[in-house]
């Protein structure tokens, strides 16, 4: 049964894999481009890729549609980063272009490194045309990337299939089994040993009985003297009892478990509340063997990009000259919460506005109408200081090619408010300002990097003024401000804290007017620095620092990295369920921290946030030691570096965890994590991390994600769940006990490797708190009842052995033994295992603490097994000895003897069926029609079969098979028999009823309390009030996060990424009216009614 089910699961996985393997790519075959399946792409093939297409293999870029054979790729599936990256072909191969004949004749030879999992490194040499050319990672496009903003490109396959770096990072698929499965394997061995012990006891009894009593039967049985050896008789009896008592070994248990798991899987598939209508995607249980493990999760490892976030940036708010824009106000000017009734700003007056952009604060448009110079300068900066490229599509619409979604959001906002970035050349930037085309001369581009955390442009406007526009992290930029900005700085700082408290990504905005003479001197020094061979980068950085000072603050931007719907509520509920959530992302530290705050995983109320960023093993060890000192105290850390036995370490950690007060968080970078995962440091890492409420790992590779999961599995022995949506999450998903794939923006690699899949992160709480908890609850209740039933049924034979001379005589009719587990008791326990629930699904979501018993493994463990075993033994004693005592030397109502073997067997069998049926009725918490039909129907079926098999008719047909002829009719018409059955049932069930009553009354569990509350209320629970958004303004922190990459400034100023266009005006400085009248007139017409009310509040008081 299990083999068939597993084979079915593998078949459906195979079908899913085929969908990927059968994707088509254009491959150059016999000088023609032909569609070829991914599975048939091999090393040396030349493949053509088109825009927005997935890359089928690791390719050497040969040529592309872009200037200098550049191409842009999105690597979110590999490293989780949302910004585009640039790859370029070698100059010798870029000449091939799109010429199919020349590409077909390409006969270069590549000698490179062996297949490996390093995503950021590649070493190789291309030999072609009697020359050799070195290759590095900038020339390679990896499988899993998506081609963006590039019409086409050609590449030669370097690695294909399992040799690709993506698959090398995916890890091996492991056979996953639940902790209950592993426990059952142990228990079955114990039960088998128990069966052998019973057989030995009865065999010894038989040998003794044969030796002392059996001699008296030899004459009667016509045995010759010494014919039957007592020892040999005991040996035969041992095997006879092994056969008779074999029902104590739960063979049918495994079949029943698979049926129950299958039912639970269908419940997940059919759950409409986990169906995402946006993509018509239902939840899917891709395996049927792990359902109850969903109710025992202690650690969740989550990807960030596409899992917690939508990978969509939206301009939400800004602070300009000390005034916040982006908040919603009522008629009285008071700030209110956003509702569906709020009307967005009407951008229809701007024909080139992005129609998808929404902004609800009308005051910003009013400030533009009133000609606020600070607002103009703010929006002008957003339109000038960026690396965005623009082009027009066939419909004449302006399309932005953005390197990072943050910049796209800022430039789009400026565009909608009338400052439209139109085009750029290496020397100029053209902006349409409120209908007027203005061309700025680009004098210098001070590029972004992770150390500077800012970027600047120096431009000359048509009036001849030189301005430096700068945007970057507030913590860096505020140090560069002119002292006259102190008042505005304090106000903007408060606004930034407010934005950061709302989880928004912030950038500070500033500018500086430059003197022409000073700029020329500075630019000359910059040219000299660029010509240096030694210390070039340091000199350039110093010059950047020199000119980026005495800045004038304009304000700040607040961009929302849109979380998926329900992420905050989901994380909050899972945290209340004592599930620890770790974020493992390939993205930058600032971005990950920002999302941590946005999700409420990180809060300002935390006692401390430990940041581990050491570059060497010594630095990492020292940072971990200091963090442990802060967390545990000096004495606790003094044992650092010593080996502690694992069991003692776990006990010590559990004690320390109870003594820690307050919440802590740990943030660690990928390069530090590589050292922390070394054998002599990993103990410190796992000890510190497991004491923290939140752990965020940044810049981690796919393999490191899997290593972190394995670390927690091995050292904490906790049940883990990994959730992600990209190919970079596959290894993590495979390593965790449960792998969940989100069918999101990044393809289907994660889904194909997962055990469960759905479309939105918010469905995770329903999967765990409802389906997982119910599955665990049902499975444990099923197992407890099943073991009880088997022991009660089987051990009666053991007691009977002491009264039948240990002759291996069965106490029941052989047909009853055959049908008991299959017919009489199979369906009720299946119904309970599939449908039962202690509280409703809504209560499971409302009270996440209900999840805790699964984490602590309270509902079924070795202790519970022995309780079930003792309960079964007690029931078997009652089932045997009460009828035995009642039948001892008793006559029936008609004066005939009723204490015969057959009547005794029928009485015991009837008592057993009724007792186990009443017991399952007591165990059932949630009654359905199916439960009623199966429980009471099983009793009815028993009596129907009993009277049929004891009838004269069937005895006449099969006299040797049905010897109990007429016994049921004779026995069950006696009142004393029914009194014996009643007494047996009451004696078996009453202790359980009393115990449970006292337990619920004196020591109720949380589920008992909730059930009692629901019964007492008997009315609909009032709707929960929406939790208001709280602003964390208790402490100052930066909300800076910028998904940008160094190097784009050089690309822009060199012109290598620009197509040839009409030359710019000779001076480079022109101002051209462009539909200005209609734009301004339309704006005036739209806003005439509101000018008077706004003019009263047009000044800003500091």
| Tens-place pLDDT, residues 802-816 | 988 888 888 888 888
Give the residue-averaged pLDDT of 716-734: 88
Residue 680 corresponds to which tokens in the numbers above?
Answer: 């002599």
Question: pLDDT at position 638, please?
Answer: 40
- The better pLDDT of the pair 831, 117 is held by 831
Give the residue-averaged pLDDT of 357-376: 91
Instruction: Please identify which residue in the block is written with the tokens 């581009």.
Output: 445
Confidence of residue 84 (pLDDT cuts 50, 70, 90): confident
Summarize pLDDT for 815-866 with one digit per residue, the tens.
Answer: 889 899 889 999 999 999 999 999 989 999 999 999 999 999 999 999 999 9
Sign of the dihedral defined by the CA atoms of residues 818, 821, 822, 823, in that order? positive
Dihedral, 770, 771, 773, 779 alpha carbons, nearest 10: 150
Question: pLDDT at position 157, please?
Answer: 94
Which of these, 562, 526, 620, 455, lies nearest to 1045 by C-alpha position? 455
Residue 537 corresponds to which tokens in the numbers above?
Answer: 């980068």
Which of these, 558, 400, 405, lies nearest to 471 by C-alpha position? 558
Q: Is 303 part of the annotated catalytic residue set? A: yes
85: pLDDT strictly greater than 90 = no
Per mean pLDDT, which range of 389-398, 439-448, 872-881, 915-924 is the poorest? 389-398
Confidence of residue 1045 (pLDDT cuts 50, 70, 90): low
Confidence of residue 952 (pLDDT cuts 50, 70, 90): confident
Give the residue-averaged pLDDT of 537-556: 92
Per mean pLDDT, which range of 52-61, 328-337, 615-624, 715-724 is the poorest? 328-337
Per mean pLDDT, which range of 53-67, 270-284, 621-635 is the poorest? 621-635
Per mean pLDDT, which range of 317-326, 408-417, 1030-1039 is the poorest? 1030-1039
Please enumerate in sequence order all residues whose Cβ is within 8 A of that of 221, keeping only pairs 6 or more positions apart, or say none.
none
Report how far residue 554's alpha carbon sits from residue 548's, in angstroms, rounded to the nearest whole number: 15
Q: For residue 319, with 0-12 CB atoms within 10 Å meaning exposed, 13-18 middle and 19 or more buried, which class applies?
A: buried
Q: 96-113 as b/e, with b when 16 or more CB fall inside 10 Å?
A: beeebeebbeeebebebe
- The better pLDDT of the pair 262, 1093 is held by 262
Question: pLDDT at position 171, please?
Answer: 66
Which of these, 804, 786, 788, 811, lies nearest to 244 by C-alpha position? 811
Which of these, 433, 420, 424, 470, lies nearest to 448 by C-alpha position? 470
Please enumerate in sequence order all residues whose Cβ is within 8 A of that of 373, keeping only pairs 6 or more positions apart, or say none.
none
Mean pLDDT (the chain, rounded): 84
Question: pLDDT at position 641, please?
Answer: 43
Confidence of residue 702 (pLDDT cuts 50, 70, 90): confident
Instruction: Please identify which residue in the block is written with the tokens 């902790």.
Output: 179
Report how far residue 911's alpha carbon sits from residue 982's, in angstroms, rounded to the nearest whole number: 8
29: pLDDT strictly greater than 90 = no
Give the residue-averaged pLDDT of 434-453: 89
Q: Are 664 and 608 in contact (CB under 8 A)?
A: yes
Please enumerate in sequence order all residues whose Cβ is within 8 A of that of 607, keeping only pairs 6 or more positions apart, or say none.
662, 663, 664
Summarize pLDDT for 145-168 with one digit per residue, the tens.
Answer: 888 888 899 999 999 988 998 888
201: pLDDT strictly greater than 50 = yes
Give the residue-averaged pLDDT of 134-144: 90
Report how far residue 147's alpha carbon sits from residue 54's, in angstroms, rounded to the nearest whole number: 7
Which of these, 654, 649, 854, lies nearest to 737 by C-alpha position? 854
Instruction: Please identify which residue in the block is written with the tokens 């062996």.
Output: 114
**What Å distances lie between residue 103 and 48, 106, 360, 1085, CA to CA?**
11, 5, 53, 59
Q: Which residues pair with 720 in a beta bridge?
A: 299
Confidence of residue 461 (pLDDT cuts 50, 70, 90): very high
Give me the DSSP letters along 453-504.
Answer: -EEEEEEE-TTS-EEEEEEE-HHHHGGGB-GGGHHHHHHHHHHHHHHHHTT-
Give the residue-averaged pLDDT of 886-894: 72
Residue 1008 corresponds to which tokens in the numbers above?
Answer: 């008992």
Catalytic residue among 79, 303, 361, 838: 303
Measured in residues, the chain has a length of 1102
16: pLDDT strictly greater than 70 = no
- The better pLDDT of the pair 188, 1030 is held by 188
888: pLDDT strictly greater than 60 = yes
Residue 1082 phi/psi, 5-degree rounding, is -60, -40
793: pLDDT strictly greater than 80 = yes
1028: pLDDT strictly greater than 60 = no
Report how far residue 611's alpha carbon sits from residue 676's, in angstroms, rounded to the nearest whole number: 13
Please enumerate in sequence order all residues whose Cβ is within 8 A of that of 842, keeping only pairs 6 or more positions apart, or say none.
1021
Q: Are 806 and 202 in contact (CB under 8 A)?
A: yes
**What Å distances lie between residue 816 and 790, 812, 953, CA to CA?**
14, 6, 19
Give the residue-averaged pLDDT of 721-735: 87
Summarize pLDDT for 548-587 with one digit per residue, the tens.
Answer: 999 999 999 999 888 888 999 999 999 999 999 999 988 8
Residue 562 corresponds to which tokens in the numbers above?
Answer: 């849109």
Question: pLDDT at position 257, please?
Answer: 92
Which of these, 490, 493, 448, 488, lies nearest to 472 by C-alpha position? 448
210-218: list long-range contacts, CB under 8 Å, 24+ apart: 210/234, 213/805, 214/805
Q: Which residues pair with 471 in a beta bridge?
A: 455, 509
Question: pLDDT at position 652, please?
Answer: 45
Report how far residue 303's alpha carbon sits from residue 309's, in angstroms, rounded to the nearest whole number: 9
Please enumerate in sequence order all residues whose Cβ is within 8 A of that of 131, keeping only pairs 6 or more positions apart, or say none.
92
21: pLDDT strictly greater than 90 = no
953: pLDDT strictly greater than 70 = yes
Q: For residue 133, with 0-12 CB atoms within 10 Å meaning exposed, 13-18 middle and 19 or more buried, which class applies?
A: middle
Residue 502 corresponds to which tokens in the numbers above?
Answer: 């709302």
Question: pLDDT at position 379, please?
Answer: 95
Question: pLDDT at position 1005, please?
Answer: 87
989-995: list long-range contacts, CB under 8 Å, 24+ apart: 989/915, 989/918, 989/919, 989/922, 991/874, 992/871, 992/919, 992/922, 993/922
Question: pLDDT at position 330, please?
Answer: 67
Question: pLDDT at position 86, please?
Answer: 85
What's the longest Cα–Cα distance across the chain? 133
Q: Are 561 and 591 in contact (CB under 8 A)?
A: yes
Sign of the dihedral defined by the CA atoms of residues 59, 63, 65, 66, in that order? positive
Q: Are 766 and 842 in contact (CB under 8 A)?
A: no
Question: pLDDT at position 631, please?
Answer: 81
Give the residue-averaged pLDDT of 259-283: 92
Q: Are 437 and 1074 in contact (CB under 8 A)?
A: yes
Report how far residue 548's alpha carbon sits from residue 391's, in angstroms, rounded to the nearest whole number: 31
Q: 459-483 as b/e, with b when 16 or more CB fall inside 10 Å?
A: bbbbeeebbbbbbbbbebbbebbee
Give me the DSSP letters along 903-940.
Answer: HHHHHHHHHHHHHHHHHHHHH--S--HHHHHHHHHHHH
Report how far residue 878's alpha carbon sits from residue 984's, in angstroms, rounded to the nearest whole number: 6
658: pLDDT strictly greater than 80 = no
Which of these, 246, 241, 243, 247, lies nearest to 806 by C-alpha position? 241
Give the residue-averaged pLDDT of 966-990: 87
Give the residue-averaged pLDDT of 1049-1054: 71
> For residue 1040, what is the DSSP state?
B
Residue 12 phi/psi, 5-degree rounding, is -70, -35
Report how far residue 916's alpha carbon sits from residue 785's, in angstroms, rounded to the nearest whole number: 9
Give the residue-averaged pLDDT of 1044-1065: 63
Q: What is the CA radius of gyration of the chain?
A: 38
Per mean pLDDT, which range of 145-154, 454-463, 915-924, 1027-1036 is the poorest? 1027-1036
Determine if residue 340 is left, alpha or beta; phi over 0 gives left, psi from -120 to 50 gives alpha, anything else beta.
alpha
389: pLDDT strictly greater than 70 = yes
Report how far residue 411's alpha carbon sits from residue 135's, in angstroms, rounded to the nearest whole number: 35
> For residue 824, what is the DSSP state?
I
CA angle at residue 344 from 342 to 349, to 5 degrees? 150
């Amino acid at each position: 049964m299990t083999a068939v089910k597993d084979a079915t699961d593998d078949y459906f996985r195979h079908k899913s894999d085929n969908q990927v393997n059968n994707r088509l790519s254009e491959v150059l075959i016999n000088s023609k481009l032909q569609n070829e399946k991914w599975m048939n792409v091999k090393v040396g093939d030349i493949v053509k890729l088109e825009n927005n297409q997935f890359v089928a293999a690791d390719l050497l870029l040969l040529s592309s549609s872009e200037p200098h054979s550049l191409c842009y790729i999105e690597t979110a599936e590999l490293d989780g980063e949302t910004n585009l990256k640039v790859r370029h072909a070698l100059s010798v191969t870029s000449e091939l272009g799109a010429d199919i004949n020349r590409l077909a004749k390409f006969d270069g030879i590549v000698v490179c490194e062996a297949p490996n999992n390093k995503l950021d490194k590649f070493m190789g040499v291309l030999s072609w045309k009697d020359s050799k050319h070195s290759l590095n990672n900038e020339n390679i496009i990896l499988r899993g990337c998506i081609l963006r903003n590039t019409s086409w490109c050609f590449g030669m396959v370097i690695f294909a299939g399992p040799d690709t770096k993506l698959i090398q990072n995916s890890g091996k698929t492991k056979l996953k089994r639940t902790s209950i499965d592993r426990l059952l394997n142990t228990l079955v061995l114990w039960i088998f040993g128990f069966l052998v012990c019973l057989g030995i006891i009865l065999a010894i009894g038989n040998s003794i009985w044969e030796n002392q009593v059996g001699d008296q039967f030899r004459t009667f049985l016509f045995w010759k003297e010494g014919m039957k050896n007592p020892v040999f008789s005991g040996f035969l009896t041992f095997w006879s009892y092994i056969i008779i008592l074999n029902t104590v070994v739960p063979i049918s248990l495994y079949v029943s478990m698979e049926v129950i798991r299958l039912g639970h899987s269908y419940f997940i598939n059919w759950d409409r509340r986990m169906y995402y209508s946006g993509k018509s995607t239902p939840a899917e249980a891709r395996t049927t063997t792990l359902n109850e493990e969903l109710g025992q999760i202690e650690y969740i490892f989550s990807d960030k990009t596409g899992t917690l976030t939508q990978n969509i940036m939206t301009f939400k708010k800004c602070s300009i000259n000390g005034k916040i824009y982006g908040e919603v106000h009522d008629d009285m000017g008071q700030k209110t919460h956003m509702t569906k009734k709020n009307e967005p700003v009407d951008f229809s007056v701007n024909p080139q506005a992005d129609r998808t952009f929404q902004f609800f604060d009308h005051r910003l448009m009013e400030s533009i109408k009133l000609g606020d110079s600070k607002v103009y300068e703010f929006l002008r900066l957003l339109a000038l200081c960026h690396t965005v490229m623009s082009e027009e599509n066939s419909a004449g619409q302006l399309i932005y090619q953005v390197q990072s979604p943050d910049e796209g959001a800022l430039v789009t906002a400026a565009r909608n408010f009338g400052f439209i970035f139109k085009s750029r050349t290496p020397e100029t930037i053209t902006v349409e300002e409120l209908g007027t085309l203005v061309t700025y001369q680009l004098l210098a581009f001070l590029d972004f990097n992770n150390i500077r955390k800012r970027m600047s442009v120096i431009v000359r406007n048509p009036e001849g003024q030189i301005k430096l526009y700068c945007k970057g992290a507030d913590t860096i930029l505020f140090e560069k401000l002119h002292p006259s900005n102190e008042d505005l700085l304090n106000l903007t700082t408060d606004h930034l804290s407010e934005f950061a408290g709302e989880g928004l990504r912030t950038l500070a905005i500033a500018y500086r007017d430059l003197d022409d003479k000073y700029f020329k001197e500075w630019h000359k020094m910059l040219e000299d620095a660029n010509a240096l061979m030694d210390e070039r980068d340091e000199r350039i950085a110093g010059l950047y620092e020199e000119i980026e000072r005495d800045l004038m603050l304009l304000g700040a931007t607040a961009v929302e990295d849109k979380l998926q719907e329900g992420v905050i509520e989901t994380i909050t509920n899972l945290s209340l369920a004592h599930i620890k959530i770790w974020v493992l992302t390939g993205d930058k530290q600032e971005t990950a921290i920002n999302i941590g705050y946005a999700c409420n995983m990180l809060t300002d109320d935390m006692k401390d946030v430990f940041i581990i960023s050491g570059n060497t093993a010594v630095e990492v060890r020292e940072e971990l030691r200091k963090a442990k000192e802060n967390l545990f105290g000096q004495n606790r850390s003094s044992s650092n570096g010593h080996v502690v036995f694992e069991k003692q370490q776990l006990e010590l950690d559990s004690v320390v965890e109870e003594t820690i007060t307050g919440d802590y968080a740990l943030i660690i970078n990928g390069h530090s994590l590589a050292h922390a995962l070394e054998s002599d440091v990993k103990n410190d890492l796992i000890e510190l991390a497991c004491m923290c409420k939140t752990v965020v790992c940044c810049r981690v590779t796919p393999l490191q994600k899997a290593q972190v999961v394995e670390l927690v599995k091995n050292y904490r022995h906790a049940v883990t769940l990994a959730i992600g949506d990209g190919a970079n999450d596959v290894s993590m998903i495979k390593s965790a006990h449960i792998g969940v794939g989100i069918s999101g923006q990044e393809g289907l690699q994660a889904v194909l490797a997962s055990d469960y899949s759905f479309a939105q992160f918010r469905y995770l709480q329903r999967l765990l708190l409802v389906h997982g908890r119910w599955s665990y609850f049902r499975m444990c209740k099923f197992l407890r009842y099943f073991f009880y039933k088997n022991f009660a049924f089987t051990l009666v034979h053991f007691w009977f052995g002491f009264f039948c001379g240990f002759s291996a005589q069965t106490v029941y009719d052989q047909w009853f033994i055959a049908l008991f587990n299959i017919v009489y008791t199979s369906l009720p326990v299946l119904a309970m295992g599939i449908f039962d629930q202690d509280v409703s699904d809504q209560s499971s979501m409302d009270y996440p603490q209900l999840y805790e018993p699964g984490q602590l493994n309270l509902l079924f463990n070795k202790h519970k097994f022995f309780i079930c075993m003792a309960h079964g033994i007690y029931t078997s004693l009652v089932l045997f000895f009460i009828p035995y005592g009642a039948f001892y030397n008793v006559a029936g109502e008609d004066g005939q003897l009723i204490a015969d073997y057959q009547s005794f067997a029928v009485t015991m069998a009837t008592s057993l069926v009724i007792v186990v049926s009443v017991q399952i009725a007591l165990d059932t918490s949630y009654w359905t029609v199916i439960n009623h039909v199966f429980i009471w129907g099983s009793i009815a079926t028993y009596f129907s079969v009993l009277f049929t098999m004891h009838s004269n008719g069937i005895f006449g047909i099969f006299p040797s098979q049905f010897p109990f002829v007429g016994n049921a009719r004779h026995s069950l018409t006696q009142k004393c028999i029914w009194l014996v059955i009643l007494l047996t049932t009451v004696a078996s069930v009453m202790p359980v009823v009393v115990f449970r009553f006292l337990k619920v009354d004196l020591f109720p569990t949380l589920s008992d309390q909730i059930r009692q509350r629901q019964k007492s209320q008997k009315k609909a629970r009032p709707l929960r009030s929406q939790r208001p958004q709280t602003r964390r303004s208790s402490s100052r922190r930066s909300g800076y996060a910028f998904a940008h990459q160094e190097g784009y400034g050089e690309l822009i100023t060199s012109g290598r990424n620009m197509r040839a266009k009409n030359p710019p005006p000779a001076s480079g400085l022109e101002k051209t009216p462009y539909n200005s009248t209609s734009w301004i007139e339309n704006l005036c017409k739209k806003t005439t009614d509101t000018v008077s009310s706004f003019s009263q509040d047009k000044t800003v008081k500091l």
